[in-house]
Amino acid sequence: MLRNVPADWREQTKEQRAAVNQHYIAAIAEHFRTAKKKEKVRAADLPLEERLANYIIEGTRDGLIADLEKKRGEGAAPLDIVNGPLMAGMAEVGRLFNANELIVAEVLQSAEAMKAAVSHLEQFMEKADTAKRGKVVLATVKGDVHDIGKNLVEIILKNNGYDVVNLGIKVPPEELIKAYQEHKPDAIGLSGLLVKSAQQMVITANDLRDAGIEIPMLVGGAALSAKFTQTKIAPSYGKAVCYAKDAMTGLRLMNELMDPATRESVLRTHTASGNGASVSTVVSVQEIPVVTRSPRVRMDLPIPPVQSLDRKVRLVPDLREVWGYINSFMLFGRHMGFRGDFEKRLAERDPKAVELFENMEEVKREAAEFMRVRAVWQFFEAEAEGELVHLFTTGEKEPVHTFRFARQRQGDFLCLSDYVLPAKNGQRDHLALFVVTAGEGVRERAEKAKNEGYYFKSHGLQALAIESAEACAEWLHRRIREDWGIPDPPEMTMAQRFTSRYRGKRYSFGYPACSNLEDQAGIWKLLKPEEISVQLTEGFMMDPEASVSALVFHHPDCTYFSVGDAGEN
Ligand code: B1M
């Protein structure tokens, strides 16, 4: 115990209590830093303080409440237990995650233990006792439905002592300004999935600046980068804007911003000089050779016939069948954080892989009760004209819709229109369009689980839904190939399918070969995906989040390429 500090917490000043907490945190952190890696600490052998931290690090609740009571029995104040050993546990979780020793799934289990401990202690706390490390208003920007990344940030910040006001998805600047005035946060966190959302962040930042807001902003998202943040968002805001590549970086930045010793330097590093940048809509025009068709794409191929040009709307009856198309690298690796070859490690009965697999099976059992995977698709007759692809309903002369694709300005001069074969003997080629979704009801259920402190389930459900949508796209694409009379060879493995070793390819608007997201409107006009409950937002994203749209080409020369105008982020 620190010298000159009364033993009974009730007699300590606020500063003394903070010093005691710091003392515990440092001691516990030191213990775990020097403890041998991988060696499971025998919890029962640890002193009570370290045992409490250990529940959080191990993400377990077995014995937690009894030990919390023991600690209270020693006279410890509930808030000091939270800010002392429990927070020390969370700090160690952060350290282990950054050192690649814990995965996302484990961090979520730690957060669950933290939430359970805090929920138990709250009943013994005075209202005024709930002092937090800081307050963050968090939102996904206007037009964007991306929820999973933002929610992960909320879980991590909340369970590390921050008060988080999560405004949800598709949040316009006005709502953020209102929330700022109401909640008086220490920082604003913005999230978004697409390039368009990164541009929306520039606009939002400018509106916040005009409203006189000056608190630091944190931004994150798959299509965002530190460079875009620094060169576009920060100048637009005029104050500090920090790029957080993941939730743990978000936490580190918040900690640094709330610590008087580091705050000024973080603010300085993340504030751009200059008066603000507007989102440029000016595209520099280069001299380009006139190429209307790539020499790399064959034209003299037979047109495969299509059985039916009817629009099809289906509820996929067998969830397990679709789940068979889930890419475990994405589900277990990218979303749940498993490092290495998950399937190989599972086959070897690696305990971490087995535990994660079983926990996800539990999530799947629950999802099977409500998840609806739905698809709408249709073949259209197609004719190319330069960079245009005209789509027709059976035998009609006038196209029902025309897509304009961009052409590469160098190299192979590829353009998606090149993959449509010229009509032969009055017979047109075809293009298939689809939209699939697995997102119905997911947001509400994930939100409920999150609010109840079941973080693994909450994140797992969202991850399962988005990867189910991707799996359904893979499943439907295979079926479309079969309907086209170009089925996969029987020996084709799922791994080969995931690396698209089949004939033809599917392209989604927003990806580098057809990056113009506004073209989604054409799909909506033709397929009416509202019938499977998928809406297009003003940012041309699909709501619900777990949805995928695509154009399917059969041409054997199809390859993934970039036209190089995706907007540099
Ligand atoms: Co797609 N997708 N996707 N996608 N997807 C990207 C983003 C893309 C870059 C792929 C590419 O081109 N190579 C591309 C965008 C390009 C562009 O904008 N032009 C793209 C596209 C185009 C699309 C669609 C439009 C394609 C289509 O169907 N037409 C479509 C849109 C969906 C919709 O409209 N609803 C689509 C769909 C999907 C899936 C549903 C299949 C799936 C899930 C998407 C999702 O996450 N909601 C998916 C995936 C998985 C991806 C990639 C592969 C990975 C995204 C990811 O990691 N998500 C992505 C390519 C890539 O990044 N390599 C891609 C998980 C999530 C937890 O991470 O959002 O980054 P993230 O959140 C992190 C950090 O960013 C940070 O912390 C979070 C947690 O660690 N963070 C913050 C975020 N916000 C923060 C706020 C803070 C702090 C930190 O404040 C405090």
pLDDT at res. 252: 95
Contact 424, 303 (CB under 8 A): yes
Tell me: the pLDDT tens digits for 360-395? 999 999 999 999 999 999 999 999 999 999 999 987
Q: Give the Cα-Cα-Cα angle 354, 360, 364 (nearest 5 degrees).
A: 140
Q: Report the distance separating Cα 435 and Cα 527, nearest Å.
A: 8
What is the whole-number distance in angstroms between the Cα of residue 3 and the centre of ligand 1? 52
pLDDT at res. 291: 84
Q: Is the CB–ligand 1 distance for residue 221 below 6 Å?
A: yes
Reply yes or no on whether the pLDDT at 38 is more than 50: no
Q: For atom 15 of ligand 1, which residue has the closest CA?
A: 194
> What is the token pair recorded at 363?
């999530």
Lowest-confidence region among 39-43, 197-201, 398-402, 555-559: 39-43
Reply yes or no on whether the pLDDT at 59 is more than 60: yes
The helix (H) or strand (E) run that includes residue 189 is strand 187-191
Q: Is the CB–ligand 1 distance for residue 436 below 6 Å?
A: no
Reply yes or no on whether the pLDDT at 23 is more than 70: no
Average pLDDT, the chain: 90
pLDDT at res. 515: 95
Q: Is the CB–ligand 1 distance for residue 186 below 6 Å?
A: no
pTM exceeds cut of 0.75: yes
Q: Is the CB–ligand 1 distance for residue 220 below 6 Å?
A: yes
Reply yes or no on whether the pLDDT at 1 is more than 90: no
What is the whole-number distance in angstroms between the Cα of residue 441 and the centre of ligand 1? 20
Q: What is the mean pLDDT of residues 38-61?
A: 83
The helix (H) or strand (E) run that includes residue 351 is helix 351-367
Q: What percent of the chain has pLDDT over 90?
A: 83
Q: For atom 12 of ligand 1, which residue has the closest CA?
A: 511
Q: Report the distance separating Cα 312 and Cα 377, nearest Å.
A: 5
Position in ligand 1 atom list of the atom nearest CA 545? 35
Ligand 1 probe mutation, 193, 254, 257, 563, most atoms within 8 A of CB: 193
pLDDT at res. 497: 94
Q: Report the distance separating Cα 162 and Cα 250, nearest Å.
A: 12
Q: Report the distance separating Cα 510 and Cα 562, nearest Å.
A: 11
CB hemisphere CA count around 518 (13 angstroms): 3
Reply yes or no on whether the pLDDT at 464 is more than 70: yes
Give alpha helix (H) positions in 487-557. 494-498, 520-527
Position in ligand 1 atom list of the atom nearest CA 104? 80
Q: What is the mean pLDDT of residues 86-112?
A: 94
What is the whole-number distance in angstroms between the Cα of residue 320 and the centre of ligand 1? 25
Q: Report the distance separating Cα 415 and Cα 294, nearest Å.
A: 7
Q: Is the CB–ligand 1 distance for residue 515 below 6 Å?
A: yes
Residue 269 CA, distance from chain mean position: 26
Reply yes or no on whether the pLDDT at 31 is more than 80: no
Position in ligand 1 atom list of the atom nearest CA 520? 29
pLDDT at res. 13: 63
pLDDT at res. 288: 60
pLDDT at res. 283: 46
pLDDT at res. 532: 98
What is the whole-number distance in angstroms between the Cα of residue 171 and the centre of ligand 1? 17
Q: Report the distance separating Cα 158 and Cα 150, nearest Å.
A: 12
Q: Is the CB–ligand 1 distance for residue 329 below 6 Å?
A: no
Q: For atom 91 of ligand 1, which residue has the closest CA?
A: 189
Position in ligand 1 atom list of the atom nearest CA 508? 29
Contact 366, 461 (CB under 8 A): yes
pLDDT at res. 566: 43
Tell me: the pLDDT tens digits for 107-154? 999 999 999 999 999 999 876 566 688 999 999 999 999 999 999 999
Q: Is the CB–ligand 1 distance for residue 523 below 6 Å?
A: no
Q: What is the DSSP letter of 509?
A: B
What residues pair up with 243 in beta bridges, in sequence order? Answer: 219
> What is the token pair recorded at 345?
């490690």
Cis-peptide, bond into residue 544, ω within 30° of zero: yes
Give alpha helix (H) positions in 159-290. 173-183, 195-210, 226-228, 234-237, 247-258, 260-269
What is the whole-number distance in angstroms between the Cα of residue 146 and the centre of ligand 1? 8
Residue 27 CA, distance from chain mean position: 35
3-state helix, strand, coil in the chain (%, to 5): 45, 15, 40
> What is the token pair recorded at 562?
């970039």
pLDDT at res. 37: 44
Q: Is the CB–ligand 1 distance for residue 149 below 6 Å?
A: yes
Lowest-confidence region among 192-201, 255-264, 277-286: 277-286
pLDDT at res. 15: 64
What is the whole-number distance in angstroms between the Cα of residue 44 and the centre of ligand 1? 43
Q: Is the CB–ligand 1 distance for residue 541 below 6 Å?
A: yes
pLDDT at res. 127: 66
